[in-house]
Structure 1
Amino acid sequence: MNDEKYKYSILYVEDDEAVRSNYVAYLSRFFEEVYEAADAESAYEIYKEKKPDILVVDIILPGRSGIDFLRDIREYDHSTRAIMLTALSDVETLVSASELKLTKYLIKPISRDELKEAFEMAVDEIVNYTTYSNRLIHIKESCYWDQDKEKLIYHDKEIFLTRKERELLSLLFSNIHRVFKSEEIIFELWYDFDNSKISSLKTLVKTLRKKLPEGTIKNVFGIGYTIEL
Structure 2
Amino acid sequence: MKLYLSLLTTMFCFLSCKQSEKQNTEPVKELTVAEKIAEAHGINHWNKVTELTFTFNVDKNSTHYDRTWIWKPKTNQVTAISKTETITYLRAEVDSLSQRADQGFINDKFWLLPAFQLVWDSGTSISEPVKVQAPISKKDLNKITLLYTGDGGYTPGDAYDIYYNDDFLIEEWIFRQKNNPEPSMTTAFGDYKTINNITFPTSSTKAEGNWKLHFTNLEVKTE
Give TM-score scaled by structure 1 length.
0.23
Answer 1 or 2: which has greater helix percent. 1
Structure with larger RCO (C-alpha < 8 A, sep 6+) = 2
Structure richer in strand, relative to its length: 2
